[in-house]
C-alpha cells in the first residue's frame, strides 16, 4: 500500500520532468572538443600528424602488445579499416609499449603476425599528456575524431561493435 502511494506521488513529477531531462541530455552533433594534434613516427620512421589526415575520420587506438583486450580489438580494427577505409576512415594504432621491451622490429613482427592493415605509431609523452592529462590511461582507449578534427567519441576498454556503430555514422 505504501509503495502505491509513493508511485502515485512521484509519477506525475517524473512525467513532468522528463522533457527537461531529455533536453539536458541531448548531444550536440559536431560540438566535440578539438582533438590534440600529434607528431608521431610509424615503424618505418615516417612522421604522422593529425593535419595529415584532414578531411578524414580518424580512429586513434592507444594499445599495447601485452594487453589482452587490445589484442581482442585488433580483428575489429582490421575489419573497420577494410570496410570504411575507402569512405575516409583511417585507423591509427598508437603503441604504448615500452620501446626497450617492444622494439620496432618486434612491433613489425607483431603487425605481420596479426595481419594488421593499419598504421602503427609509437607514442610519446606529449601525446599521452595531451590525450590523457595526468590520469593513468586505461588501454585500450580509442578516440574517434571527425573530419573537422573534433573528438566525437571515446571508448575505454573493448566492447565488440561499439566503435563500428559510432564510426559508421561519421563515414557516411
Q: Annotated active-site positions, please? A: 67, 70
* % helix, strand, coil for the chain, step of 5: 45, 20, 35
How far apart CA 101 and CA 106 sit, in angstroms, is 9
How far apart CA 60 and CA 142 sit, in angstroms, is 5
How far apart CA 85 and CA 118 sit, in angstroms, is 10
How far apart CA 11 and CA 7 sit, in angstroms, is 6
How far apart CA 131 and CA 116 sit, in angstroms, is 24
Amino acid at each position: 500500500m505504501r509503495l502505491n502511494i509513493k508511485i502515485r506521488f512521484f509519477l506525475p513529477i517524473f512525467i513532468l520532468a522528463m522533457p527537461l531531462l531529455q533536453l539536458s541530455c541531448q548531444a550536440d552533433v559536431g560540438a566535440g572538443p578539438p582533438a590534440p594534434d600529434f607528431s608521431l613516427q610509424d615503424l618505418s620512421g615516417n612522421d604522422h600528424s593529425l593535419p595529415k589526415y584532414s578531411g578524414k575520420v580518424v580512429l586513434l587506438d592507444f594499445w599495447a602488445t601485452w594487453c589482452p583486450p587490445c589484442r581482442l580489438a585488433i580483428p575489429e580494427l582490421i575489419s573497420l579499416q577494410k570496410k570504411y577505409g575507402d569512405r575516409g576512415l583511417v585507423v591509427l594504432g598508437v603503441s604504448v609499449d615500452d620501446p626497450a621491451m617492444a622494439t620496432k622490429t618486434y612491433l613489425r613482427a607483431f603487425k605481420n603476425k596479426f595481419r594488421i592493415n593499419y598504421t602503427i605509431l609509437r607514442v610519446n609523452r606529449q601525446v599521452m599528456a595531451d590525450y590523457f592529462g595526468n590520469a593513468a590511461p586505461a588501454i585500450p582507449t580509442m578516440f574517434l575524431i571527425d573530419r573537422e578534427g573534433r573528438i566525437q567519441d571515446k571508448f575505454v576498454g573493448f566492447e565488440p561493435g561499439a566503435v563500428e556503430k559510432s564510426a559508421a555514422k561519421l563515414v557516411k
